[in-house]
């Protein structure tokens, strides 16, 4: 009796010990997996992983990066964004993320200047970068910009009545300056007649609505800057050409004395002198842009259908089909503007045009050397028929500020920024032989029905015999 109890106690103790050892092993495995997580993407094409290019960028990050994703609850894109951000955080533990509903936390959205659902704010070391869509290419390039130690220089021209980045009134550009600084840009104003020229390292020159003509010397400096691969944003309001009309004509762009009238703006509670964007061009600046923009008192821009040699155009923004270019200034002033087919041009009309200036090829080794000809960087000039759209009073209106920032970002892109193609699952067609196709047809269409019928007959006969 006693020996039986002892044996039973030994068995129970052994089972308890084995259970404790098993629990300890599971706990240890759990702690190891939590400390050193591992993931394997077994899908064809690794569609749940980021590209090797992105991994190289992410692994170089050595300081905390906080990503704030502004998504509404129930947003269909939130699930994909979560999976993507989890992957980035897995590749580098320095990356942290959180999702914020801008409708429930409007103050936080306003603090970061978020105007669109699905935007991401990347923050590190007191610097921020805005990513408009939660895609791998946008996030990776945003991280690249965020990690740049040297700020890119954007210069605003002054001295001709241009809008100033120091002006906080409604016609000033102080909001644009603040946003650029948040995006790690160095912003300053220059006067070309000072004799110092543009500051060294200028990535982009902005000329926001000059009221007085530029001097010939300044126009020559402007030409040299673009010829050397410089990037310029030139905003010209109606009836003011800034003294560059002839230069633009040599580039194949005509400036007419007109002002755009748009009836569609009335539907949005605006004035007919505030044309809205009717469509956007297929250029990286506007290709994924789907937000309405407004251009108070704008003029049309007419690039030539046959551009001069070495020049090409991209129409970035067009007005609506209900707009037209009014050429009678007196009628506009009296509020009596009406479309005249003999004088006016019917919309849609270009509101913003990108002029690409390809430099002439230069042979550094001489003819017959067999060496490839070296090419200078391509200059780019973005023309806007309005400067008010990016002023303080309209900067936060719909997509105006985003369009301005997109333009700056595109013109100042670094060569290290990458282009990532989305992962594609390869298509593997199912090829069957004649016998395989015959078997695939006979099994579901003939054999299985016969089995069911036979089973039914068998059950019926067995029940009949039982009676």
Confidence of residue 262 (pLDDT cuts 50, 70, 90): very high
Mean pLDDT of 191-220: 90
Global pTM value: 0.69
Domain definitions of the chain by residue range: 52-131, 152-361+375-411
Round the average pLDDT of the chain to a whole number and report it.
Answer: 85
Do the domains at 52-131 and 152-361+375-411 have one common CATH topology? Answer: no
* Per-residue confidence (pLDDT) for residue 366, from 0 to 100: 43
Span 7-24, average pLDDT: 81
Q: Where are the beta strands (DSSP E) in 30-109?
A: 65-70, 95-100
The string of DSSP codes covering 286-318 is TTT--S--B-SS----EE-SSPPTTEEEEEEEE
- What is the pLDDT confidence band of residue 363, given thresholds at 50, 70 and 90? very low
The C-alpha atoms of residue 317 and residue 338 are separated, in whole angstroms, by: 23
CATH class of 52-131: alpha beta
Contact 260, 326 (CB under 8 A): yes
Query: Between the CA of residue 171 and those of 125, 189, 212, 295, 360, what are the distances in Å?
Result: 32, 16, 17, 13, 40
CATH code at 152-361+375-411: 3.40.50
For the ranges 58-72, 218-232, 239-253, 375-389, the lowest mean pLDDT is seen at 375-389
CA distance 130 to 113: 9
Q: Taking residues 97-126, report their average pLDDT.
A: 89
Residues in contact with 222: Cβ distance below 8 Å, sequence separation at least 6, in sequence order: 205, 214, 232, 244, 247
Mean pLDDT along residues 28-39 = 70
Is residue 427's pLDDT more than 60? no
CA gap 274, 394 in Å, rounded: 11
- Each residue of 132-167: pLDDT tens digit? 888 888 898 888 888 877 778 999 999 999 999 999
Instruction: Name every residue whose Cβ is closer than 8 Å to that of residue 82 and which is 6 or more positions away in sequence.
Output: 99
pLDDT in tens, 374-392: 455 689 999 999 999 999 9
Could you give the CA distance from residue 233 to residue 205 in angstroms, rounded to a whole number? 6
- Contact of 163 with 110, CB cutoff 8 Å: no
Q: Does the pLDDT at position 42 exceed 80?
A: no
């Amino acid at each position: 009796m006693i020996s039986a109890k002892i044996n039973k106690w030994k068995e129970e103790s052994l089972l308890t010990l084995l259970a404790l050892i098993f629990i300890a092993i599971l706990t240890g495995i759990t702690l190891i997996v939590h400390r050193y997580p591992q993931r394997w993407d077994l899908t064809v094409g690794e569609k749940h992983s980021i590209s090797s290019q992105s991994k190289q960028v992410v692994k170089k990050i050595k300081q905390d990066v906080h990503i704030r994703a502004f998504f509404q609850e129930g947003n269909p894109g939130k699930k994909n964004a979560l999976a993507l951000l989890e992957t980035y955080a897995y590749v580098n533990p320095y990356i942290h993320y959180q999702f914020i509903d801008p409708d429930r936390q409007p103050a936080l959205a306003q603090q970061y200047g978020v105007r669109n659902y699905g935007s991401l704010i990347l923050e590190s070391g007191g610097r921020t970068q805005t990513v408009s869509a939660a895609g791998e290419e946008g996030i990776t390039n945003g991280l690249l910009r965020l990690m740049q130690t040297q700020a890119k220089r954007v210069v605003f021209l002054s001295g001709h009545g241009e809008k100033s980045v120091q002006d906080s009134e409604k016609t000033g550009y102080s909001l644009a300056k603040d946003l650029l600084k948040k995006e790690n840009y160095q912003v300053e104003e220059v006067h070309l007649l000072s004799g110092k020229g543009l500051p060294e390292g200028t990535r982009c020159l902005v000329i926001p609505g000059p009221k007085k003509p530029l001097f010939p010397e300044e126009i020559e400096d402007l030409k040299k800057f673009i010829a050397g691969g410089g990037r310029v944003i030139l905003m010209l309001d109606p009836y003011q050409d800034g003294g560059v009309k002839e230069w633009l004509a040599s580039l194949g762009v005509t400036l007419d004395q007109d002002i755009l009238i748009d009836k569609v703006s009335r539907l949005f509670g605006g004035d007919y002198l505030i044309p809205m964007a009717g469509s956007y061009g297929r250029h990286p600046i506007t290709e994924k842009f789907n937000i309405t923009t407004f251009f108070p008192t704008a003029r049309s821009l007419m690039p030539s259908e046959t551009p001069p040699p070495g020049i090409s155009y991209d129409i970035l923004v067009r007005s609506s089909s209900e707009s037209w270019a009014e050429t009678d200034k007196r009628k506009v002033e009296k509020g009596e503007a009406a479309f005249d087919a003999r004088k006016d041009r019917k919309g849609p009309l270009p509101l913003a045009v990108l002029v690409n200036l390809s430099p002439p090829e230069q042979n550094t080794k001489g003819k017959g050397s067999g060496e490839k000809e070296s090419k200078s960087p391509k200059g780019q000039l973005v023309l806007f028929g309005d400067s008010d759209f990016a002023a303080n009073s309209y900067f936060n209106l719909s997509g105006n500020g985003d369009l301005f920032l997109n333009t700056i970002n595109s013109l100042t892109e670094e060569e290290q920024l990458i282009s990532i193609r989305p992962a594609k699952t390869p298509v593997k067609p199912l090829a069957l032989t004649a016998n395989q196709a015959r078997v695939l047809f006979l099994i579901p269409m003939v054999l299985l029905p016969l089995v069911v019928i036979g089973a039914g007959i068998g059950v019926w006969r067995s029940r009949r015999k039982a009676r």
